[in-house]
Structure 1
Amino acid sequence: MSAATNDRPATTRGLSAPLLVGGAFVLSTVVNIAAQVGSILFTDTDPYLPEGAISSIESISVVGVASLAIAIAIALPLMKSPSRARVGAIVLGALSLVTVPFFWSGAPAIFGATAAWLAGLTKGARPQAGAARAFGIIGFVIAILGVVAVFAGDLSAILG
């Protein structure tokens, strides 16, 4: 019995892996921090309240940067081998699901984008099959929804 090979052609359309993962980080974590800084600069609310802008900036920064570091630390060693990348896509896709309650930090978007990368859904990659592809697609959808949730939350805070 021979080992299964990935004979799918490389993806020619879409975003590159660094753009996808970096974009997820910027559009979720960095934008949310910028919104909190804007709240400090342009509103009269006390930023030092227990759940005010200062504590929000601290928690968003810590969780967002830690999520990016964990995602990259998992993805970089696994991306060289398709069989290991499959496992990484499943693990990171599961992490994107588990971290949904922390959407404000950008963690689900970061883990989801990295799962999509390892699943071969980025430009120049060979798409995985089976569970890895499913978790990559789920991760990609969670990344998009995470970015939308951050923008919606920031917009509602500004308008409300």
Structure 2
Amino acid sequence: MSCAQNPSGRYLEVDSSRIYFELAGNPQGKALLILHGGLGSSREMACLQAHIPADYQLISMDFRGHGRSTLGQQPLSYARYQQDAEALLNHLGVEQYSVLGFSDGGIVAYRLAASHPGRVTRLIAIGAQWRLLPEQVVVF
């Protein structure tokens, strides 16, 4: 099965890294951020795009150090991936969005929703764990 991606990918400079992202679907539609799993790239999620309703604007990105994004000088962490996703969404002027994340992308999706519950309207996490005990402190 061929899963072609949008050939008009772009880059956003974020803290010494070039974050690769693509936009597809309806530019005026509801935003859906699509996050890939660890050691992958947005290419692994491209096949899902054909099954997402046409009224969504699809935002795909490669985490830093993955796919077509450069590593930069910041250490890799879920918090760093979250910050990069937030920088991209802010750059695009996206106020509210749904998020679909696979594995590590799902963990980042949970972090985004926990940090900004008013911005994340829907969350779909596939194969992602999240456990926050009452006494745990999470640094966002």
Normalization by structure 2: what TM-score? 0.30
Q: Comparing both structures, which one devotes a greater share of its residues to strand?
A: 2
Normalization by structure 1: what TM-score? 0.27
Q: Comparing both structures, which one devotes a greater share of its residues to helix?
A: 1
Which structure has the larger Rg?
1
